[in-house]
Amino acid sequence: MGKAGDIIAIGGGGFGRNPNQPIIEKYIIEQSPKEKTNVCFIPTASAEDSAYIVNFYRAFSKLNCIPIHINLFQRTPRLDSTLNKQDIIYVGGGNTKSMLAVWREWKLDKLLLKAYNRGAVLCGVSAGAICWFEQGVTDSWASNLNIMNCMGFIKGCCCPHYDGESNRKPTVKKFLLDGVVDSCYSLDDGAALHYKNGIIHTAVSFYKGANAYQVSLKDGNVYHKTIEGVSLIQN
């Protein structure tokens, strides 16, 4: 097994909201050493929403790459040969539980692990962020937020939209106080965590004031440790 690739977990934002300003997307492309990078979008979690796919191409067509996407609810290509050619794989947001169930049926989870172990850059937003962790805080259920087991490429639990949805912070606090998790990597909208070989390399901010935190308990109180990183915001 070779050196594992990069994982970039994004808390929220990006081309799904603003395809005309591909800030975090440019950062992602820059992580590949290739002159012309192959980028694959997997929009399973959104049930392959057509507008989302259009926004993917709108954003990545502005960058030095060759973008494609994979459908699993229509005629599906040979996944192994398609993914073997990809330098970057971007997973979109939506329903994490349903996404992972479909992936396992297609054995896509195993193919993504193979891509990671050969050095591909894996990334994504919301569902596409938490899926790489051991556990994630998900809104896959309509009634309330839950913690679910994910693929476990990197250690820990992750919560996206930490500042973007009002129920996120109190829910993470409750999970900590109840002993459901020991700590949780919590990502604001416009913030990301960049891992190299399974270890945090840097936090990345592309919204003003957006941060990534390691949230834990200290003497019975919730403690936020801001993870240091880089800002992509132009002054």
Give all strands of the β-sheet with 65-69 in edge-to-edge order. 65-69, 37-42, 88-91, 121-125, 6-10, 191-196, 199-205, 229-231
Indicate if 161 belongs to the active site: yes
Question: Which is catalytic among the residues 161, 186, 194, 205?
Answer: 161
> What are the tokens at 51?
């507008």
Question: Which is catalytic among the residues 32, 61, 98, 126?
Answer: 126
DSSP string, 126-163: THHHHTTEEEEEE--SSSS-EEEE---SEEEEEE--TT
Task: Choose among 80, 15, 11, 7: nearest CA to 43.
Answer: 15
**R_g of the chain, CA atoms, integer Å:** 17
Task: Choose among 207, 211, 194: nearest CA to 233.
Answer: 207
Indicate if 61 belongs to the active site: no
Going by DSSP bridges, is the β-strand pair 133-138/146-149 parallel, antiparallel, or unpaired? antiparallel
d(CA 231, CA 2): 30
Distances (CA, A) of 235 to 82, 189, 230, 231: 40, 19, 13, 10
> What are the tokens at 181?
């998790």
Active site residues: 126, 161
